[in-house]
Chains A and B, each alone.
Chain A
Amino acid sequence: MANGESEVGADAPAGGFVQLLTPEGERVDSVTTADGTTYSVDFTDEEYRGLYRDLVTVRRLDSEALALQRQGELGLWASLLGQEAAQVGSGRALRSQDMAFPTYREHGVLYTRGIDPIMPFGLFRGVDQGGWDANEHKFNGYTIVIGAQTLHATGYAMGVTMDGKTGSPDGEAVIAYFGDGATSQGEVNEAFVWSGVFNAPIVFFCQNNQYAISEPLERQTRIPLYRRATGFGFPGVRIDGNDVLASYAVTRSALDRARQGEGPTLIEAYTYRMGAHTSSDDPTRYRIASEVESWKAKDPISRLKAFLAKQKIGDDDFFDEVDEAAKQLALDLRERVLAMPDPQPVTMFDHVYPNGSPDLDEQRRQFTDYQASFEGSGH
């Protein structure tokens, strides 16, 4: 037991992981890892119910988005199915001042940041470039380039230190999301080097969903991913990525460590992508059905539901109400997505320079005139 991880959980991979809620819905009080860190959570009933609502909601919104793609309303969608706990747990562990750097799959983290879930749909519907205000939401743009955001996050985190915003319990921290495939990218390794050397206040949150599109984990690494951190000089922890409580507890601890000025942490959330890599992918071509079935038994929502039911924290009325609320949210999202206006061509000139430029203004004027030369150009 290299990591001194949970005693329970026969489902754990070799080397173990931090697990606070078993697939059967049993709570594990606390887990102490080999480095002496103890992880636990102390949630009120309301907080437990809130996490459940988050999980159900993000899954429902995700399935609605996938349906919209299949119906020709989105160009592409990257489903988070199976990874809800990793995202909701880590997302809820963030504090308002913390900055998140997502990939294109972090819809659950986005939701927990309190952002209107429609925000990324413009990108996938092709009506905008996905350029939201990262500072306003403390949530950077969805990054399509694999691993690139880890360097952005590292630079941002180094900036946080330079601004003197670390070193206190109310300091700022940064979290960078990426997948198992990204760990093979040079950028991610550079980010590890720089963060380690500069003691940057950053948490590297790797959702190991076992596949880099079709490439299985064993072709990415010879050792568990979390152990790579040791070589870069900061701690690595593996968690049960399907356990929202472990995800919350370990991320909160790592973020606090970062905001106190104690440097980076790598968290490997051991999970599974139940769906396709994106809507353009067919996972049946490279995964066997029995593997997918075995992970269904570890579903993040059913284990929390079982726990809530057993502990009498949630009853059928509550579960039904959550389902219905999520459905309404999804239908509302559908309607708003379908009503998204087509972009006006002239908007391509927006956001090129922060303070404009004479050349660009002239181009915009000419283009506006050109557009106005067509019939029906009332707008």
Chain B
Amino acid sequence: MSRIKEFPLPDLGEGLTEGEILSWLVKVGDTIELNQPIVEVETAKAAVEIPAKWGGVVARIFFEAGTTVEVGAPIIAIDTDPSAGPLPDFDGPVPSAESLAAVQIAPAEGAVEPGMAGSPAPNAGRTPVLVGYGPKTTAAKRRPRLGGTPVAAPPIAETPPPPPAPVPAPNPKPAPGVRTAGPVLAKPPVRKLARDLGVDLTAITGTGPLGSVSRDDVHQAASARQQAATAAPSVTTARAAAVFDASREQRVPIKGVRKLTAENMVASAFTAPHVTEFLTIDVTRSMKALEKIKGRREFRDVRISPLLLVAKAVLLAVKRHPMVNSTWSGATNEIVVKEYVNLGIASATERGLIVPNIKDAGRLTLRELAEALNTLVQVARSGKTPPSDMSGGTLSITNVGVFGVDTGTPILPPGESAILAFGAIKPMPWVHKGKVKPRQVTTLSLSFDHRIIDGELGSKFLRDIGDFLTDPEGALLSWS
């Protein structure tokens, strides 16, 4: 160990960050003993004398009396072996770099970022505290993870390096420590920055320790994108060659409702042979009927939508064709025909697609059905649909019309045998009473499980729904 020892100002009182040097009790050249009082320091808590940590000769005093000094800064240097002769090249009251590191806050340019393995532990940002144990007085260094630091030889990654792009890509550069798997490594402030700049972290090849994404990486990616955007129109010779790599892809984790939906869809699509039929109808009369219902006193305070009539049509049609409301039970070699209809309504929510159902919807009056639909939709949108509402569905409606499309080919919710898609209602030229007239037209599509429902049954069921929606009064009167 060096014969010159520097004494850093310690934390004299449980969490102090600085102290003022009141007076020096020794001067350069003085011979001092261990524990001899050398300096009087006043902190936020007390004025105290500090005893010398080593005997020897005072070589340097780094701060004058009256100076406020950060805890951890060297205040005095003591030659602990003055008998060993004059000191070689020791001049200037400058603390050594090593000792200054104790109070250094930011790492040097290009150094490991604070907070990452191998970087200084985050004790540099001191905050004054009055009680308890606060800042440390020495700079601890985090140990790097095994195999986590770059080595001289090129890193061997589990994945082969991407083939060279035809033109040097603007942003990605080889990572010193290649991340081979797992989520993107980036500190929260970097993630925030990426969000603010609209940069996709997963598209960046990190150059930080362990392949983590640094602030520079994010800035670089953002500026590269901007350059590409501005350069394109101005360059007449050739646009920068398109890059088809991770920088232009987004990776969304498959989880939660999305994952469940996917599993359900796959299970359904590959177990139940689907058939889909379409029917385009004139619903002008239904729309008029809706207006009439809205005008009735008992419907004054309830929201009425075309979906209500579609639901009613389905429920009435089920009564005429009970077989569509059934489940294929392969385990028992049975078809379970249900006398109750738990009517599922596919709902788009922030969490993804869910299909809550209205229990025993067939028993509800129109007004009750309207209320149940409203409640179901509101609860689904608030994300609070209880699991019990999502299980036990027997037949479903998906209202794709709200998205402005004509129709689709819905996939059956597992365990159900029929699902009706209900497209957008829009004015269309329609042959009405022998003349082409603008009418309110929509397209219905019905997917059904062909194991249970033959084309004939499915077609009749769909036809009945269409009849009701085309002429509600006539259907009601003729069916009853």
Contact present for A280 and B49 (CB under 8 Å):
no
Quick check: A374 and B146 within 8 Å, CB to CB? yes
Residue from B7, B12, B35, B146 within 8 A of A373 (CB atoms): B146
List CB contacts (< 8 Å) of B4-41 with chain A.
7-14, 34-35
Docked pose: A51 CA to B45 CA in angstroms: 36
Interface centre among B9, B11, B49, B51 (most CB of A within 10 A): B51
Contacts of B46 in A (CB 8 A): 276, 280-282, 285
Chain B residues, CB < 8 A from A67: 35, 51
In Å, the complex CA distance between A290 and B65 comes to 28
Asked whether A70 is an interface residue with its Cβ less than 8 Å from the other chain, the reply is yes
Judged by DSSP, the binding face of A is loop
B47 proximal to A (CB < 8 A): yes
How big is chain B's contact interface, by range? 20 to 34
Shortest Cβ gap from B25 to chain A (Å): 13
Q: Which of A60-115 contact B (CB under 8 A)?
A: 63-64, 67, 69-73, 75-76
Please name all residues of chain A whose beta carbon is closer than 8 Å to the beta carbon of B475 when the two chains form the complex: none
Which residues of chain A have C-beta atoms less than 8 A from B10's C-beta?
70-73
A64-B35, A75-B133 known; A70 vs B48 contact (CB < 8 Å) = yes
Contacts A276-B46, A374-B144, A377-B143 given: A71-B53 contact, CB under 8 Å?
Answer: yes
Which of A72, A279, A373, A375: most chain B Cβ within 10 A? Answer: A72
Q: How far is the CA of A376 from the CA of B14 in the complex (A)?
A: 31
B326 within 8 A of A: no
In the complex the two chains form, is B45's CB within 8 Å of A76's CB? Answer: no
Judge if A126 is at the interface, Cβ distance under 8 Å: yes
Q: Whole-angstrom distance between the alpha carbons of A70 and B53 in the complex?
A: 9
A281-B45 contact in complex given A64-B35, A67-B51, A71-B53, C-beta closer than 8 Å? yes
A32 at the interface (CB under 8 A from B): no
- Chain A residues numbered 274-288 whose CB sits less than 8 Å from any CB in chain B: 276, 279-282, 284-285
Provide the residues of chain A in CB contact with B144, threshold 8 Å: 374-375
Q: What are the interface flags for B135-155 relative to A under an 8 Å C-beta threshold, 1 for contact and 0 otherwise?
A: 001000001111011000000
Inter-chain contacts of A282 with B (CB < 8 A): 45-48
A375 surroundings in chain B (CB, below 8 A): 143-146, 148-149
Given A64-B35, A375-B145, also A279-B47 (CB < 8 A): no
A-B contacts, 27 listed (Cβ < 8 Å): A64-B35, A70-B48, A70-B49, A70-B51, A71-B53, A72-B8, A72-B10, A72-B11, A72-B137, A75-B14, A75-B133, A126-B133, A276-B46, A279-B13, A280-B14, A282-B45, A282-B48, A284-B47, A285-B46, A372-B146, A373-B145, A374-B143, A374-B144, A375-B144, A375-B146, A375-B148, A377-B146
B-binding residues in A (CB < 8 A): 63-64, 67, 69-73, 75-76, 126, 276, 279-282, 284-285, 331, 372-377
Chain B residues within 8 Å of A, Cβ to Cβ: 7-14, 34-35, 45-51, 53, 117, 133, 137, 143-146, 148-149
**Assuming A67-B35, A67-B51, A281-B45, what are 16 further A-B pairs, CB within 8 angstroms?**
A69-B12, A70-B48, A71-B7, A71-B51, A72-B10, A72-B11, A73-B10, A75-B14, A276-B46, A279-B12, A281-B46, A373-B145, A374-B117, A374-B143, A374-B145, A375-B148
